[in-house]
Structure 1
Amino acid sequence: MGGPTTVPAGGAGYAHLIDNSRPWWRNSRILLLNFWISLLLLTSSANGYDGSMMNGLQSLSQWNVAFNNPSGGKLGLLNAIQNIGSVAGLPLTPYMADGMGRKFSVIFGASLVIVATAIQTASQSVNMFIGARFLIGFGLTFATNSAPLLVTEVAFPSQRAPVTSLYNTMYFLGSIIAAWTTFGTFNIPSSWAWRVPSVIQGVPSVLQVALLWFVPESPRWLISKGREEQALNILAYYHANGNRHDPLVEYEFEEIKAAITFDREVAANVGWLSLIRTPGNRRRLRVMVAIGFFSQWSGNGLTSYYLNKVFDDIGITNPTIQLLFNGCLSIWSLILGVTGSLLCDKAGRRGIFLTSTIGMLVFWTLQTICFAIDVQTGNLAAGHAVIAMIFLYQGFYGCAFVPLIVSYTLEILPFPIRAKGYTLFSFVVYISLVFNQYVNPIALAALGWKYYLVYLFWLCFEVIFVYFFVVETKNRTLEETAAMFDGDATVAQISEKAVATAGIAHKADETVEHETKPEL
């Protein structure tokens, strides 16, 4: 390609239809919708809680005694079994999300997690604990692959990108809660030192199973199943205070119908091969696979490993202080992730991705130099500089590759292949995690600080890839964004059909109220 991938400037087709006479926090319907969305965001927190909890449990003598001090392959299985359970359930998730609905899939996954955490809490043997963790991973994969779909498809149009970006960011909230929970139960002189964190792990899933029945189903999924009246009621209830004739609601409704019809005409039989069947889908696949790998292969898998080593090298060997630094790093990542989420429609996805990759490259380079000096000369100042570089590097990583990888992947995928595409993206992330878990320690032992150079060159490639292939998608509807990869003509075709069908131009002044409580 001869230059960066861009799209014509301009706002979304719906922008002029939004009533800006009062802020969203004074609109009770949008507040209620965001409450339901926050309930869905707990899915990511539950996922983050699990990994952090396992790290904390390994520091508890009560847990080690209860399971005969697991080590070697047994300990590796205890840590990896949750991901193994997730991979086992992954092929089934798009079929349940597309067949039974996004909401049902989250409830199903949360129900499995409740059962699994009960077994985990009551575990009397290491094998029972391992089986419970497999079931936790299996259940989580249904929830984590359906919750973001529902978030992005039900959110108020102007808030869709920020709230979907917050989904992945909430991983760190769960991680922080788990870290301090295990730290707080450290002094309990019984097995409840590890059973209490396990009980708390099930709390988000209990809340979801109790309340998700009241959450609106995806209007896009309902329309795809021919339940158009129900979809229109939900759009009207939450996006226009019940007014089915609101210009925004009519535009959304007709645009969703036009996009689904168009996609069905292009690919009547939507299967896995649809992901590579058209040039637009191949462009989508290239981008989402790349950012999936980038999210784990940007050097972030090494920071925690080398952080502890640097602490030892500069004389910080107290585990409590090391835990404090690690806890602060998670809080820092959460702050930057939330910041990136809230700015994604102002700064743009492409701008944030470019800033992130360039910033990571700069501070990874400085981190490599400082660490090499510290290892070769024992210079304490260089060791302290490494810690500073890690925090700065993690800040640039967190502003894009925490919030945007989920929201960007979902919005570039058209509805018929959204569930399957996101499943493939999740699989790429899991494969990348396996690489981090098994290859990095071997390479680090063999190459030491020189292994940093591998990621330095890889980050150079990431900057180039983002510059040429990441498309700007800010301030567009899901349908407009997904169609961009199929060409500007497709965007115009869907938008024009939505406007023409809804008769927006003729109804702009219409204020008919038709209050309808949606069937959820």
Structure 2
Amino acid sequence: MSPDPTFCGLKGQSLVYLVTFCCSIGFLLFGYDLGFMGGVTTSPLFLETFGNPDAALLGFMVSSYDIGCLLGAVLSFFIGDHLGRRMMIVAGGIWVLVGAVLQASSFSMAQFLVGRIIGGVGMGHMTTAIPIWLTESASAKKRGRMMAMQLSNLIMGLIIANWVDYGMAKIDGSIQWRFPVALQCIFCVLVMSLCMFLPESPRWLMQKGREVEARKSLAALRGGALDSEIVESEFRDIQTAIMIESHHVSSWMDIFRDGGISGFTRVMTGFNANFFQQLSGVNVMSSLGPYIFQHSVGFDRNQALMVSGGQQIFYFLSSIIPWFVIDRAGRRKLFMLGSFGMGVCMALSAVFIGIGGKGLGYAAVVVLYIYQTFFTLGWQSTLWIYPSEILPLKLRLRGGAIAVVSQWLFTFVVVEITPPMITNITYKSYIVFAAFNFLAIVVVYFTFPETANRPLEAVDLLFADRDGKRPSIWRVVQDSVSKDFDAEYELHRLEQQNSMEIGKKTGEEYEMDEDFKGMSSHVENVN
């Protein structure tokens, strides 16, 4: 009898934790890259090196990274499904490494901007592949918690960036800003090294027809033997989903049309989720925190760096809360709660900063601290796992890339316009972000289905036909909160697997398409 498969000597949840740790280092790098420019842009030596750029050009120096990330996500769209989840992360790490070297050694604006864009391409790869890899590796009941733990490390990256900036501000010479830029390299090497020793996504392997490797990977991640019941059951579920999709999905163009699986609707849901996360204003604080506290609230540079660093520590502590509630409360409730809290905080910030005064300046700081709690509860961990859950297997990487394009496109817009907004319309900037947060509540309520605690393959059923017709997104949302629907899925899953076994024994092809439609009609009657 062969031993249970392992990777790095680990199996089961211990191995999933190691995958989560690897993903966490990738997102720590993400957070660090978002955060270190906030302090660097207030460094007189940095500004002098590049000719003391005005607010608009300074904003572009920060946001050029987001252009690279957007390009990286677009490139992932075309090559991601060929490379696989792990190799996409490794490829991204190489891009980031090259970009970091170019930035740290810059003496001209052109070289620095090229380095920022190249590094961004790599982060676009990584932020596309990492959430999908973790989502496809973790079990349904623990996906949310694994993602929440990973996202806490994004905040740890922000903390490291802020305090490295603060510490280096005390040192004379260009190392004051070159060292924070170069520090990215350490995280790059670590995440690339770990990836090489961990299991590939079993779902990607199955999609590529590599069933032996897929079974080994799945057995190791679930901690069972190759032929154990838990491994066999999930293996068949994946097999079933691939068979269903093979009847419908014909090309990558299905992300722009129905394609038999509501492809466009599901891709747009992921796109909209990223849109509203960025228009919440979170990257105003993540990428430009010291700048905001210095130019909007009125602190000097030392105070701004201190307050920004303290905010990131508070942010990290807040991020622990989703570890315990994300899988219990579900995605929809947390999205709406987070948007309401962030909207109120942004509105109060507008009032406090608009009236002005030292006391209200401190009050604005407190409110912006609380804002981070609502963001991490509602739109941090939940956002990064949601597109991977909502998308079907064949469109998961490409649809995820489109969602990440939204992430980086609107990150660029927000980071680019924030310095001029703060300069020109001051406190009214916060009113704009408050309005988008309140709008998000309405959009989530009517168009975001619940995906928590469901097998990835079960989410496909939410979008299946009802009486031969494609359901509206509102109908999908209603079914997604129905317990009857989940019970019927479990019954049908067993029927599908039995039918597949009968088909194998008799040599007949199992018509999954018709059976799937019939089941959808039956669910209509049950509900």
Contact 2:92 2:123 in 1 (8 A): yes
Counterpart selection for 1:214 from 197, 200, 206? 197
**Residue 415 of structure 1 pairs with residue 393 of structure 2:** yes
Q: Deviations over 1:121-144 (max 9, x none)?
A: 333443333222221112221222
**Residue 251 of structure 1 pairs with residue 239 of structure 2:** no
Which amino acid letter does the alignment assign opposite residue 411 of structure 2? L
Equivalences for residues 273-288 of structure 1 within 5 A: 273-274=255-256, 276-278=258-260, 280-288=262-270
**Residue 44 of structure 1 pairs with residue 9 of structure 2:** no
Counterpart selection for 2:76 from 71, 93, 112? 93
Alignment partner of 1:296: what SS? helix
What is the aligned partner in structure 2 of residue 486 from structure 1?
Answer: 464
**Residue 401 of structure 1 pairs with residue 379 of structure 2:** yes
Scaled by the length of structure 2, the TM-score of the pair is: 0.80
Counterpart selection for 2:498 from 497, 500, 514? 500
Counterpart selection for 1:234 from 209, 217, 220? 217
What is the aligned partner in structure 1 of residue 87 from structure 2?
Answer: 104
Q: Tell me by how many angstroms 1:83 deviates.
A: 1.6
Q: Deviations over 1:389-408 (max 9, x none)?
A: 22223321221111111101
Which amino acid letter does the alignment assign opposite residue 290 of structure 1? N
Which amino acid letter does the alignment assign opposite residue 206 of structure 1? V
Q: Deviations over 1:424-443 (max 9, x none)?
A: 11111222223323444555
**Residue 424 of structure 1 pairs with residue 402 of structure 2:** yes
Aligned-partner Cα distance in 2 for 1:450–1:165: 32
Give unpaired runs (5+ residues) of structure 1: 1-26, 504-520
Alignment partner of 2:325: what SS? helix
Scaled by the length of structure 1, the TM-score of the pair is: 0.81
Contact 1:81 1:133 in 2 (8 A): yes
Q: Tell me by how many angstroms 1:231 deviates.
A: 0.5
Distance 1:53 1:359, change over 3 A: closer
Q: Tell me by how many angstroms 1:216 deviates.
A: 0.5
Distance 1:475 1:262, change over 3 A: same
**Residue 158 of structure 1 pairs with residue 156 of structure 2:** no
RMSD between aligned residues? 2.9
Equivalences for residues 346-425 of structure 1 within 5 A: 346-372=328-354, 374-375=355-356, 378=357, 380-425=358-403
What is the aligned partner in structure 1 of residue 415 from structure 2?
Answer: 437
What is the aligned partner in structure 2 of residue 82 from structure 1?
Answer: 65
What is the aligned partner in structure 1 of residue 160 from structure 2?
Answer: 177
Aligned-partner Cα distance in 2 for 1:475–1:238: 18
Q: Tell me by how many angstroms 1:258 deviates.
A: 0.5
Contact 1:414 1:483 in 2 (8 A): no
Aligned-partner Cα distance in 1 for 2:452–2:236: 21
Aligned-partner Cα distance in 2 for 1:156–1:184: 41
Aligned-partner Cα distance in 2 for 1:348–1:50: 30
Contact 2:40 2:165 in 1 (8 A): yes
Equivalences for residues 93-132 of structure 1 within 5 A: 93-132=76-115
Contact 2:343 2:437 in 1 (8 A): yes
Moved more, 95-104 or 484-493: 484-493
What is the aligned partner in structure 1 of residue 121 from structure 2?
Answer: 138
Distance 1:139 1:68, change over 3 A: same
Q: Tell me by how many angstroms 1:70 deviates.
A: 4.2
Q: Tell me by how many angstroms 1:38 deviates.
A: 0.9
Counterpart selection for 1:322 from 304, 310, 330? 304
Counterpart selection for 2:321 from 339, 345, 354? 339
What is the aligned partner in structure 2 of residue 289 from structure 1?
Answer: 271
Q: Tell me by how many angstroms 1:319 deviates.
A: 2.3
Distance 1:449 1:181, change over 3 A: closer
Distance 1:214 1:306, change over 3 A: closer
Moved more, 132-141 or 412-421: 132-141
Alignment partner of 2:196: what SS? helix
Q: Tell me by how many angstroms 1:466 deviates.
A: 2.1
Contact 2:80 2:88 in 1 (8 A): yes
What is the aligned partner in structure 1 of residue 522 from structure 2?
Answer: none
Q: Deviations over 1:16-62 (max 9, x none)?
A: xxxxxxxxxxx864213311331122222212212322222223344
Give unpaired runs (5+ residues) of structure 2: 1-9, 466-484, 502-527
Distance 1:118 1:407, change over 3 A: same
Aligned-partner Cα distance in 1 for 2:155–2:115: 23
Which amino acid letter does the alignment assign opposite residue 346 of structure 1? R
Task: Calculate percent identity across the aligned residue pairs.
Answer: 25
Moved more, 251-260 or 465-474: 465-474
Contact 1:251 1:498 in 2 (8 A): no
Q: Deviations over 1:201-257 (max 9, x none)?
A: 11111112323211101101110111111111111123124x122221111100011
Q: Deviations over 1:474-514 (max 9, x none)?
A: 211111134323365994586235653798xxxxxxxxxxx
Aligned-partner Cα distance in 1 for 2:95–2:418: 32
Contact 1:250 1:502 in 2 (8 A): no
What is the aligned partner in structure 1 of residue 474 from structure 2?
Answer: none
Which amino acid letter does the alignment assign opposite residue 383 of structure 2? I
Which amino acid letter does the alignment assign opposite residue 356 of structure 1? G
Q: Deviations over 1:327-361 (max 9, x none)?
A: 12222222223322442111211221222122233
Q: Deviations over 1:88-124 (max 9, x none)?
A: 2322203322112111111111122223323333334
Contact 2:74 2:405 in 1 (8 A): no
